[in-house]
Amino acid sequence: AQSVTQLGSHVSVSEGALVLLRCNYSSSVPPYLFWYVQYPNQGLQLLLKYTSAATLVKGINGFEAEFKKSETSFHLTKPSAHMSDAAEYFCAVSGGYQKVTFGTGTKLQVIP
Amino acid sequence: NAGVTQTPKFQVLKTGQSMTLQCAQDMNHNSMYWYRQDPGMGLRLIYYSASEGTTDKGEVPNGYNVSRLNKREFSLRLESAAPSQTSVYFCASSDGQGGQETQYFGPGTRLLVL
């Protein structure tokens, strides 16, 4: 069985502040982990993914995430928030040939 | 490349009516998926197709049927719509099924069942 838990359905940050979106996973096999972003009225698009190479993964738009096996976490960070980062972010997990399981999402609000 | 396209973008149905949601991809991907997105519940897999000619149930298949018409097209049918099927439906595709592939999503179909 596999699952992801995203802590905080809504997160607000000031423009220029650090963005930290939390994700914890559960998987019975070594996981593949993903962060997807959804802008209003659009489909999801991949931000970054971990596939057992480097534990620190860099994605698009300045985002990165670190895989920590001991903490079963894959938190998403960005040093300085931009207004254009306002969106909903989904963490997802897949174990081998299992289908991808998505978290419930975190809506990021960026305050000017 | 258009990527993944979905039609219609928005639909209103009355309870008991039927409809088919269409999805097509032009990336030559083997795997295709149908998800529904509901507030606070993330994305839940309805059906998927690992390759042309095969389909399998996902997490929430009740009330839906699918057809993998060819490698490009994967349709979702609601035979008798219910208010509980009010949702946003997303189609996605990926190249393979090993678990690490990126999924590419369409823009979604917003369905309201009255």
| pLDDT tens readout for residues A1-45 | 789 999 999 999 999 999 999 999 998 778 899 999 999 989 999
So what's the pLDDT on residue A97? 63
Q: Tell which of A44, A74, A90, A107 to mutate to test the B interface (max B CBs under 10 Å).
A: A44
Interface of B with A (CB under 8 A): 4, 33, 35, 40-45, 48, 58, 90, 92, 97-100, 102-108
pLDDT in tens, A68-91: 999 999 999 999 999 999 999 999
What is residue A98's predicted lDDT score, i.e. its pLDDT? 62
A32 touches chain B (CB under 8 A): yes
Does the pLDDT value for residue A96 go beyond 90?
A: no
Chain A / chain B CB contacts < 8 angstroms: 54
| Other CB atoms within 10 A of residue A80 CB | 12
Given this model, what pLDDT does residue A52 score?
A: 79
Q: Is A42 exposed, middle or buried (0-12, 13-18, 19+ CB in 10 A)?
A: middle
Distance from CA of B106 to the nearest CA of A (A): 5
Residues of chain B scoring pLDDT < 70: 97
A21 and A75 in contact (C-beta within 8 Å)? yes
How far off is chain B from A19, nearest CA to CA, in Å?
21
